[in-house]
């Protein structure tokens, strides 16, 4: 009988995993919390992707799509999230054989091994997985031979508090706080027009939102974008510019640098948020909950400080995660933002993603835990390798079939390195313990490595 594989989440990576599982002659069942596939992408559909189509379409998914008469998009064109949905995710989920295996409005609430609590070992590996989910009619249970958790991180944003805890008063002020990347030029224009808006964070979501707010300021006078940064060096957020192989990402950083330079974005650097209080319908954001810190008063706060994985439904699974990054231990050193910020992570797969409960894998952006550098194409390679592993094709599972785009600037051991040759020399080719080509070369010469890991 063919193996059954439960896939949590019908985002781009969950769908790619389903396509790969199907291609291997196994039976996928995709459980999606939202009413449609691509539910998280839908929340940021107004955003222009920084990767062009050639990096956004999974090959197995494309093979399913071509049988439906699908017009593949131009490889060099950059879609918005809405176009990603319309031209790829929706046809994949509704017009190919995947439509029969996706169950929408099904939120997974717990995963375990049937008949085995976490502490019980003997015979555990032979037991099927038991997946509990809610579909509005009450709790349902599904059994499967393997589980791929591709449920993303969009639902669990990091809070505003600088220490990773919610800031004092943050929960009470939530009506004036948005998380992630709100649609300031579209659906939510009225909320932000003519307002003083603080945006907290230093990643692409923060600089994208601030850039959009400067556009809004031209239409709606009185709109004041204010950039709140924990760090003291704004220039670090400007990215790789012309050296970034994903040129849209490089251009976004370069354009933002000029908006900051011209004073269209006010900068409050070295501003670790500790407390948020409400007064006269406005927010006072302060670096201290006591009397003497710095503070600013704004109408709205956008918290764009990244995301963290929701591990709450995995309590009965034997996970082995890095305690800091919350990514699988073999993957964490390759993506640890303390060490290096490369988008050029060595391609990896089942070997790095499998957990101590064989048959259970983390995939997609959730597999990166708290690290911010995930690319869809990395997830597609994960899906290929995991499906091969579940099918028992260990050789294909171990093979690397991906060349990743490079970022022009990354940090390595805290040292910033701009490099025409790409970040840290690009991804490592062979050595599973190497985080990049420089590290791999150093290890081949008998050195400990280059300091990436």
Ligand X SMILES: Cc1cc2nc3c(=O)[nH]c(=O)nc-3n(C[C@H](O)[C@H](O)[C@H](O)COP(=O)(O)OP(=O)(O)OC[C@H]3O[C@@H](n4cnc5c(N)ncnc54)[C@H](O)[C@@H]3O)c2cc1C
Please give the residue ranges that form the binding site for ligand X (CB under 6 A).
8-14, 31-34, 39-41, 44, 47, 49-51, 55, 107-108, 150-152, 154-155, 181, 205, 313, 364-365, 374-376, 379
**Minimum CB–partner distance for residue 346 and ligand X (Å):** 16
**Minimum CB–partner distance for residue 424 and ligand X (Å):** 19
**Minimum CB–partner distance for residue 11 and ligand X (Å):** 2
Q: Are 55 and 78 a contacting pair, CB within 8 Å?
A: no
**Minimum CB–partner distance for residue 264 and ligand X (Å):** 22
Q: Are 299 and 283 a contacting pair, CB within 8 Å?
A: yes
**Minimum CB–partner distance for residue 284 and ligand X (Å):** 28
Complex with ligand X: residue 33 or 198, whichever CB lies closer = 33
User: Which backbone phi and psi does 234 adopt, to 5 degrees?
Assistant: -55, -35
**Minimum CB–partner distance for residue 251 and ligand X (Å):** 13
Complex with ligand X: residue 275 or 376, whichever CB lies closer = 376
**Minimum CB–partner distance for residue 126 and ligand X (Å):** 26
Complex with ligand X: residue 238 or 449, whichever CB lies closer = 238
- CA-CA distance, 195 to 358, in Å (whole number)? 52
Complex with ligand X: residue 41 or 388, whichever CB lies closer = 41
Complex with ligand X: residue 84 or 286, whichever CB lies closer = 84
Complex with ligand X: residue 255 or 394, whichever CB lies closer = 255
Complex with ligand X: residue 39 or 113, whichever CB lies closer = 39
Which residues neighbour 62 within 8 Å (Cβ) at sequence distance 6 or greater? 70, 72
Complex with ligand X: residue 210 or 376, whichever CB lies closer = 376
**Minimum CB–partner distance for residue 313 and ligand X (Å):** 6
Question: Which of 56-79 are b and which e, b meaning 16 or more Cβ less than 10 Å from the residue's Cβ?
Answer: bbbebbeebbeeeebeebeeeebb
**Minimum CB–partner distance for residue 350 and ligand X (Å):** 16
- CA-CA distance, 39 to 90, in Å (whole number)? 11
* Residue facing ligand X at closest CB distance: 11
Complex with ligand X: residue 116 or 380, whichever CB lies closer = 380
Complex with ligand X: residue 12 or 272, whichever CB lies closer = 12
Q: Are 221 and 194 a contacting pair, CB within 8 Å?
A: yes
- CA-CA distance, 83 to 137, in Å (whole number)? 33
Neighbours of 359 (CB within 10 A): 20
């Amino acid at each position: 009988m063919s193996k059954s594989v439960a896939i949590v989440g019908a985002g781009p990576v969950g769908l790619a995993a389903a396509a790969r599982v199907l291609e291997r002659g196994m039976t996928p069942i995709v459980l999606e919390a939202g009413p449609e596939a691509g539910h998280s992408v839908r929340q940021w559909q107004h955003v222009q992707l920084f990767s062009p189509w050639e990096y956004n379409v999974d090959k197995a998914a494309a093979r399913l799509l071509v049988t439906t008469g699908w017009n593949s998009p131009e490889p060099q064109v950059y879609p918005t999230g809405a176009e990603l949905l319309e031209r790829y995710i929706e046809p994949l989920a509704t017009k190919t054989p995947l439509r029969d295996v996706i169950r929408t409005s099904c939120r997974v609430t717990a995963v375990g091994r049937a008949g085995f609590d976490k502490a019980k070992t003997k015979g555990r590996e032979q037991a099927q997985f038991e997946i509990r989910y809610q579909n509005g009619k009450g709790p349902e249970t599904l059994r499967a031979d393997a589980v791929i958790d591709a449920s993303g991180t969009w639902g669990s944003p990091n809070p505003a508090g600088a220490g990773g805890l919610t800031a004092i008063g943050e929960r009470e002020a939530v009506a004036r706080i948005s998380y992630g990347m709100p649609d300031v030029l579209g659906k939510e224009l009225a909320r932000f027009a003519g307002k003083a808006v603080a945006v907290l964070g230093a990643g692409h979501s923060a600089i994208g939102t601030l850039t959009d707010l400067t556009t809004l300021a031209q239409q709606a006078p009185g709109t004041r974008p204010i950039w709140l940064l924990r760090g003291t060096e704004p220039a670090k957020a400007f990215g790789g510019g012309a050296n970034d192989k994903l040129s849209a990402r490089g251009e976004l950083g370069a354009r933002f640098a000029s908006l900051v330079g011209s004073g269209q974005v006010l900068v409050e650097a070295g501003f670790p948020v500790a407390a948020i209080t409400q007064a006269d319908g406005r927010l006072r954001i302060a670096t201290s909950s006591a009397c003497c810190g710095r503070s600013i008063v704004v109408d709205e706060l956008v918290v764009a400080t990244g995301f963290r994985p929701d591990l709450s439904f995995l309590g009965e699974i034997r996970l082995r995660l890095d305690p800091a990054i919350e990514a699988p231990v073999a993957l964490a050193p390759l993506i640890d933002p303390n060490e290096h910020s490369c988008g050029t992570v060595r391609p990896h797969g089942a070997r790095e993603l499998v957990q101590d409960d064989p048959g259970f894998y983390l995939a997609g952006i959730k597999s990166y835990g708290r690290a911010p550098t995930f690319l869809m194409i990395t997830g597609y390679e994960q899906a290929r390798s995991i499906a091969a592993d579940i099918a028992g094709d260990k050789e294909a599972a171990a093979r690397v079939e991906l060349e990743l785009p490079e970022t022009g600037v990354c940090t390595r051991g805290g040292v910033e390195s701009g490099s025409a040759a790409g970040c840290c020399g690009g991804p490592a080719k062979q050595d599973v313990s190497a985080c990049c080509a420089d590290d791999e070369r150093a290890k081949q010469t008998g050195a400990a490595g280059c300091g990436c890991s």
